[in-house]
């Protein structure tokens, strides 16, 4: 398999997952803010921090209003991590590797991109926000389902699987970040709503039901973290994503270095006591995990996409 094709498939998968998870992430913030008492000034800028879009947003003209921030994370083409940019990049990667992917999936990706592009200038007003974002989540889920259900599970598929799981692992840490940053925010005293917020995080990851099935008592922050970080069975939990990465790497040639990198992140997570992860410790931990995941990406790139002479 050509490195270029592998790289495009991997990025196609990452961008699709990114579009889905960014939608989920905006939904968490949206739901939390709806629950806040009216006396509290909602802080939308937090979204920019979590999505790593702070600097690029500040560099552009226009104030940090809810409307501006929403269009920036949803449809701004200049924003390298907006949903629009992710879908455009997914589509471009797919367009140039169509010959190895089932053709119906190309049609789905293309029409998802076109439907988002069509409403790009409308922004994301509160009235339609839930419907639009949920629609994106559903479409991307449908695309992953088609890929999983109609493709040879060969080397090509392993690159899809790696892209999806690495991006998902990263985005799960960012969605947890939304909650932890909100709790640490002095402007917005949300401690009375702590449980509500963690429920909202679980729901945005479609994890609430699975959490209740596997954790037999009330929603408590440490248990939620334990579930989202260390559960091996829930597909959006960090541990599960890392196990999936490991499985793919074992099926690919020359996967040793990459495997070691993933296993080391995994050990780090297993060693962490979730009960101690509160406030700044949690933020620091999540930042660290994000950096380590970036490291895994770099090894993947060196191993399969840019082989040395």
Partner 1 sequence: MADSSAAIKAPSPYKRARPGIDWSAYDPGAFYDEIISSPGNARAAARGLVSYTRKMSIKHLLSRQQAADLAIQEMGISFTVYSDGENIDRAWPMDILPRIIPLKEWKVLEQGLVQRQVALNKFIDDLYNKQRILKDKVLPREIIDSSPEFLEQCIGAKPRYGVWSHVCGSDLVRDADGTMYVLEDNLRVPSGVSYMLENRAVSKRVLPQLFEKHFIQPVDDYPSQLFDTLASLSPRPGDQPEIVVMTPGVFNSAYFEHAYLAQRMGAELVEGSDLVVGDDDKVYMRTIRGLERVDVIYRRINDDFLDPEVFRPNSILGTPGLFRAWRKGNVGIANAPGAGVADDKVIYTYVPAIIKYYLDEDPIIPNVPSYLCVDKKHCDHVLKNLENMVVKPANESGGYGMLIGPASTRKQREEFAARIRKNPRNYMAQPALSLSTAPTLCGNSIQPRHLDLRPFILQGKRHYVTAGGLTRVALRKGSLVVNSSQGGGSKDTWIVDTEAG
Which residues here bind partner 1, judged by CB under 8 A? 1-4, 6, 95-96, 99, 103, 155, 252-254, 304, 306-307, 309
Q: In angstroms, give the least distance from the CB of 95 to partner 1.
A: 7
Helix (H) or strand (E) holding 278, with range, is none
- CA–CA gap between residue 243 and residue 50 (Å, rounded): 25
Nearest C-alpha neighbor of 211 from the set 157, 201, 117, 36: 201
Pick 72 or 113: Cβ nearer partner 1: 113
Pick 102 or 135: Cβ nearer partner 1: 102
Q: In angstroms, give the least distance from the CB of 119 to partner 1.
A: 21
Pick 103 or 273: Cβ nearer partner 1: 103
Pick 273 or 309: Cβ nearer partner 1: 309
DSSP string over 100-154: GS-HHHHHHHHHHHHHHHHTGGG---HHHHHHHHHHHHHHHHHHHHHHHHHS--S
Pick 78 or 107: Cβ nearer partner 1: 107
Q: Which residues contact 119 (CB under 8 A, 6 or more apart)?
A: 75, 132
Number of residues that this document lists for the chain = 309
Q: In angstroms, give the least distance from the CB of 147 to partner 1.
A: 18
Q: In angstroms, give the least distance from the CB of 146 to partner 1.
A: 17
Q: In angstroms, give the least distance from the CB of 267 to partner 1.
A: 26
Pick 162 or 228: Cβ nearer partner 1: 162
Q: Which residues contact 254 (CB under 8 A, 6 or more apart)?
A: 303, 304
- CA–CA gap between residue 138 and residue 152 (Å, rounded): 23
Q: In angstroms, give the least distance from the CB of 167 to partner 1.
A: 19
Q: Which residues contact 179 (CB under 8 A, 6 or more apart)?
A: 28, 32, 197, 198, 200, 201
- Secondary structure, 3-state, 15-53: HHHHHHHHHHHHHHHHHHHHHCCCCCCCCCHHHHHHCCC
Q: In angstroms, give the least distance from the CB of 160 to partner 1.
A: 13
Are 16 and 140 a contacting pair, CB within 8 Å?
yes
Pick 57 or 113: Cβ nearer partner 1: 113
Chain centroid offset of residue 174 CA: 7
């Amino acid at each position: 398999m050509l490195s270029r094709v592998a790289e495009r498939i991997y990025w196609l998968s990452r961008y699709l997952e990114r579009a889905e998870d960014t939608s989920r992430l905006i939904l968490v913030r949206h739901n939390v803010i709806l629950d806040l008492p009216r006396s509290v000034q909602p802080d939308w800028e937090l979204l920019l921090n979590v999505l790593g879009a702070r600097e690029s947003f500040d560099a552009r003209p226009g104030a940090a209003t809810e409307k501006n921030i929403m269009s920036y994370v949803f449809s701004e083409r200049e924003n390298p991590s907006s949903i629009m940019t992710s879908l455009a990049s997914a589509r471009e990667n797919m367009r140039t590797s169509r010959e190895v992917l089932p053709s119906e999936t190309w049609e789905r990706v293309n029409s998802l991109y076109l439907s988002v592009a069509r409403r790009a200038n409308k922004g994301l007003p509160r009235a339609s926000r839930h419907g639009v974002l949920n629609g994106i989540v559903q479409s991307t889920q449908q695309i992953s389902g088609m890929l999983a259900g109609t493709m040879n599970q060969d080397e090509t598929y392993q690159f899809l699987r790696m892209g999806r799981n690495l991006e998902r692992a990263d985005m799960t840490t960012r969605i947890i970040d939304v909650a932890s940053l909100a709790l640490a925010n002095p402007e917005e005293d949300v401690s009375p709503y702590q449980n509500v917020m963690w429920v909202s995080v679980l729901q945005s990851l479609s994890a609430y039901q699975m959490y209740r099935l596997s954790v037999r008592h009330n929603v408590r922050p440490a248990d939620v973290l334990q579930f989202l970080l260390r559960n091996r069975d829930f597909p959006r939990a960090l541990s599960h994503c890392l196990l999936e990465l490991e499985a793919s790497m074992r099926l690919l040639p020359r996967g040793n270095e990459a495997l070691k990198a993933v296993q080391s992140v995994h050990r780090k997570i297993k060693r962490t006591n979730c009960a101690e992860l509160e406030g700044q410790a949690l933020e620091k931990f999540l930042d660290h995990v994000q950096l380590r995941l970036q490291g895994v990406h770099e090894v993947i790139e060196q191993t399969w996409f840019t082989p040395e002479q």
